[in-house]
Amino acid sequence: MTAISASAVPAAASPDPDGAVLHRPVIDWFDAHARDLPWRRPEAGAWGVMVSEFMLQQTPVNRVLPVYEQWLARWPRPADLAAEPPGEAVRAWGRLGYPRRALRLHGAAAAIRERHGGDVPRDHAQLLALPGVGEYTAAAVASFAYGQRHPVLDTNVRRVFARAVGGAQYPPNATTAAERKLARTLLPDDEPTAARWAAATMELGALVCTARTPDCARCPIAALCAWRQAGSPEHDGPPRRGQTYAGTDRQVRGKLLAVLRGTVTPVPQATLDQVWDEPVQRARALDGLVSDGLVEPLSGGLYRLPLT
């Protein structure tokens, strides 16, 4: 591919960067290199896209794939999931982590059945009004399932924009108003191209412009990248948040849930006490699961996954 002159891209400080010079090379790269993922196939439908978006939050694709396939085989439509107790969603979530996402997806499915006749709504505002659906997920479903024009800002896209346009190694820890404005500015005008751009920038961040070892030699916009033009400076902002797990309450919660997922009958407190030696942390983790609605306490010191 012929490189576009770096002078064609406005300086990183420009308030209105022109995304047009980026669109074609990134979308062409995506057309040639995109992974064949089940939620990208036409048969996935809007429900398959929504399920994938819930599962992929903070979870890598290779861990999501088997759970996604099992989930769609069991619950091919929102009404199928809504007909089951929420605890079954938690059980089927397995070890994907952050299991509150399972409850939120179950709640969204119930709302889709009740408000939209069982079909995932096309309207962005209606998507945003579903329980458990935030700004990112509503935009992603509207864009990827229905080909609409919305800025889709996940961690990968934010990193691509931070480097290519902002000249920074990493984006801020939390999404800012400036990032949202930039994403809207870079969005192609027509809906099909905008939807393709959203998917392409996400894939570019996942496969090439990665957090730790970006493969700039494979990047279709390396010649246009403001961060490379600046000499690839090291991150000088606030420390980036780590993803610790061992010894945390998250680990204890996971162990407790694993016991409850493994049986359809209530589990006594004594059984749960065996999963972690430190009683204060174990009790705190169990209380948190109950507070989050992931575990239901019963009389007699018994616990189960929630039925309502």
- Threshold 0.85, pTM exceeds: yes
CATH number at residue 256: 1.10.10.10
Summarize pLDDT for 69-81 with one digit per residue, the tens: 999 999 999 999 9
- Decide if 213 is inside a domain: yes
**Is-catalytic flag, 53?**
yes
- For residue 177, which amino acid is it? A
Dump the DSSP string for 198-251. HHHHHHHHHHTS-SSS--GGG-TTGGG-HHHHTT-PPP-SSPPPP---TTSHHH
62 falls in which pLDDT band (50, 70, 90)? Answer: very high
Say what the pLDDT of residue 19 is. 82
Say what the pLDDT of residue 8 is. 36
Same domain, 195 and 66: yes
Give the pair of three-digit tokens for residue 149: 């024009």
- Decide if 7 is inside a domain: no
CATH number at residue 109: 1.10.340.30
- Decide if 122 is inside a domain: yes
- Domain span at 286: 249-304
Same domain, 205 and 293: no
Pairing of β 302-304 and β 296-298: antiparallel
Half-sphere exposure of 255 (CA within 13 A, CB side): 19
Same domain, 55 and 202: yes
- Decide if 262 is inside a domain: yes
Q: Which listed residue (53, 88, 179, 296) is catalytic? A: 53
243 falls in which pLDDT band (50, 70, 90)? Answer: low
